[in-house]
Copies of this chain bind each other. A is one copy, B any other.
Amino acid sequence: MSKTKGNLTLPSESGFLDETVEMMERWGADALRDSDGTKLPDEIKNLDAKIYTTYFVSRGHNDFSREHMDETQSIYLMTRHNVATEEELTISIMDGYYREQVQPNYSYDPKIFWEVMDRTLDQVVDSSLWTVDEEKNTVTLNHTEPFHEYTVSFLVKAIWDPTQMYNHITNNWGEKEHDIPFDVRKKYSNEYIHSYMEKWLEENPRTDVVRFTTFFYHFTLVFNEKGKEKFVDWFGYSASVSIEALEAFEKEKGYRLRPEHIVDKGYYNTAFRVPTKEYLDFIDFQSRFVADEAKKLVDRVHAHGKEAMMFLGDNWIGTEPYGKYFKEIGLDAVVGSVGGGATLRMISGIPGVKYTEGRFLPYFFPDTFREGNDPTIEAKENWLSARRAILRKPVDRIGYGGYLSLAYQFPKFVDYIESVADEFRDIHGKIAGVKPYTGIKVAVLNSWGELRSWQTHMVAHALWYKQIYSYLGVLEALSGSSADVSFISFDDVRKNGVPEDVDVIINAGDAMTAFSGGEEWLDPKLVATIRRWIHEGGGFIGIGEPSAVHHGGRFFQLADALGIDKELGFSLSTDKYFRTPVEDHFITENTRTDIDFGEGMKNIYALYEDTEILSYHDGQVELSAHDYGRGRAVYIAGLPFNMENSRLLHRAMFYSAHKEKDMSVLYADNIEVEVHGYPSIEKYAVVNNSDRPQETTVWDHEGKETSLALHPSEIRWISYGEKA
């Protein structure tokens, strides 16, 4: 591949001028950035590159914050469950919370803004029945129901920005001052945020790109009494509340939010909860406001001839990049951290910006760049998984973060990234803006729909949890699949039915979560709409506990379509005769022996003789298919990501949509190899996703078959009509 330049952002730092020049050259960087803990000196700012500068809107201005401590940000918190062993119960509200992060806010009458809940009854305790001791940070209930559990929902001032707190504690910053976050909804803070931006823009003429990190409200990240993470929700809105917000909400939406609408029994409306109307209203309300305020900042940036880029993370709450207000902000770009294919698509798919940038791993920090460790391994994994997604919908730029001086000490790594950079530019040059060939259109159906495109089953950005990896694999598989992927919500289906061009619906998740749908499936209209759609020829793929809510003698409300259900113990008396797997099946044609279903699912059984069981193990169905009218439904117990499962899902999609014959177009039979076609440029790429040589049969755009050998991780570009 020939040496190219551009589309790459390099971190730099003081005292590293010559090496920066060298690295810019080798990696073809056209932009330089600062990072957490680094600043770009003037000598570097004067190099021939775009200069990105990190900008904090709502923290890092303690001179202001300290003088406006009544304008700090607020969080609604819930205490532990406290059991009343006597008629009187005193609850220490700060138990389990970190006093350096949050402090009870007594400025607003607790009797109005706090709530004491009897969790055993699930009822509010009348405010006349409790008192607050501001000295001791306690709430005392005078007449409990003995042995009921009680919680207090209370308002705190956030006095330490969570990201800085995390870095501060992790890196032992000792005496370094704590960043106090202030709230754009408050009078002086709002004035300050806008006036300071203006001042800063004037003072930073050399900055080309203002990298907002980010706007106003941090995702929920609360520490415990030991200064360790207690609660983390990358999507959480609980740190975006304030009295002002609650009052404006009431004015706008016509009703008052209760603390319970925010603390939500202690779950704080994580994305796994089927969202309540109130919570969706609050998201809408805050998104509208955040867009309005962010737009003012972006307008100022533009007025100074600079670009505005948003970091997807930290204080991103309310931006909702896939929401209806985001475009109005007018951002030029979004940058986000790439953990794999799904997170890449989350970034590259954001509508309404001029370009997107992915920050690739590893970050140049001493944990990875240490003697004896080979950072190339992580880089390669990261690149190969992201590349699948890039070939579907590329980000426009790639970049790195951290200390360039560290990475510089690992020549093998520098070499590898040099090749990655060239390969990225080659791909981007060919396919940016080109619509790839898709053989099938799939819609992921859950409570969130488009609003949370590529963001399902996530707790904290790209972190592994035992309860999610068997579902995240679905998104990761789709991120590099030749399917056209969309996200639709139950509300969409209720309102508009299933979009006409959708071939396959995927519903994946644990029972009662927003991703499976829980009580949404009690809606007869939803159930009937989906059943009809499948019956008339649609494909449905259920993973884990699809459509699960116990009702009408079924656990899976689409059991009739899926041909399987889950035994809850109530139907043990009914004999389960259908246990014999079919010998061969289209779906498992490329599959080796033991499929990895991840956490899998217990007690799934076939309902009908014509349910095709494809995998049966330990008394339960793990994989099955079932004809339903002119359509088909497929069940998969779990789908952690690997190339074999990715292929399994791919085949299941074509099978469920009765499009088996269409599959052998721009397709390779080796599971490590994928083919991406680009009709408008009459090219296709045959991609070896593995780090080993591969041989495969390839079907071109006309379904013509040839054999091919590929080098480790090779991309072979072939023009339509050209011999492979």
Interface residue ranges, A against B (CB under 8 Å)? 81, 83, 85, 119-122, 145-149, 151, 220, 224, 228-233, 236, 265-268, 270, 272-273, 459-460, 465-468, 509-510, 512-513, 524, 527-529, 531-532, 535, 550-554, 559-560, 567-575, 577, 599, 602-603, 618-619, 629
Q: Name the B residues within 8 Å of A145 (CB-CB).
A: 524, 528
- State the CA gap A122–B552 with chains docked (Å): 6
- The residue on B at minimum CB distance from A575 is B229
- The residue on B at minimum CB distance from A463 is B572
Q: Name the B residues within 8 Å of A265 (CB-CB).
A: 552-553
Q: Name the B residues within 8 Å of A231 (CB-CB).
A: 573-575
Q: Give the residue of B224, B232, B529 whose beta carbon is less than 8 angstroms from that of A573.
A: B232
- State the CA gap A618–B560 with chains docked (Å): 34
This chain's copy number in the assembly:
2
- State the CA gap A495–B2 with chains docked (Å): 84
- The residue on B at minimum CB distance from A121 is B524
- State the CA gap A335–B270 with chains docked (Å): 57
Q: Name the B residues within 8 Å of A509 (CB-CB).
A: 569
* Contact status A147-B619, CB under 8 Å: no
* Contact status A270-B570, CB under 8 Å: yes
* Contact status A119-B552, CB under 8 Å: yes
* Contact status A528-B229, CB under 8 Å: no
Q: Name the B residues within 8 Å of A220 (CB-CB).
A: 573
* Contact status B146-A528, CB under 8 Å: yes
Q: Name the B residues within 8 Å of A567 (CB-CB).
A: 467
- State the CA gap A149–B527 with chains docked (Å): 10
* Contact status A569-B535, CB under 8 Å: no
Q: Name the B residues within 8 Å of A230 (CB-CB).
A: 574-575
* Contact status A119-B553, CB under 8 Å: yes
Q: Give the residue of B236, B460, B569, B573 whose beta carbon is less than 8 angstroms from that of A510.
A: B569
- State the CA gap A535–B509 with chains docked (Å): 38
* Contact status A572-B121, CB under 8 Å: no
* Contact status B459-A573, CB under 8 Å: yes
Q: Name the B residues within 8 Å of A229 (CB-CB).
A: 575
* Contact status B512-A550, CB under 8 Å: yes
* Contact status B528-A148, CB under 8 Å: yes
Q: Name the B residues within 8 Å of A460 (CB-CB).
A: 573
* Contact status B527-A572, CB under 8 Å: no
* Contact status B629-A465, CB under 8 Å: no
* Contact status A572-B467, CB under 8 Å: yes
Write the nearest CB–CB distance from A313 to chain B, whole angstroms.
Answer: 16
* Contact status A466-B619, CB under 8 Å: yes
Q: Name the B residues within 8 Å of A629 (CB-CB).
A: 85
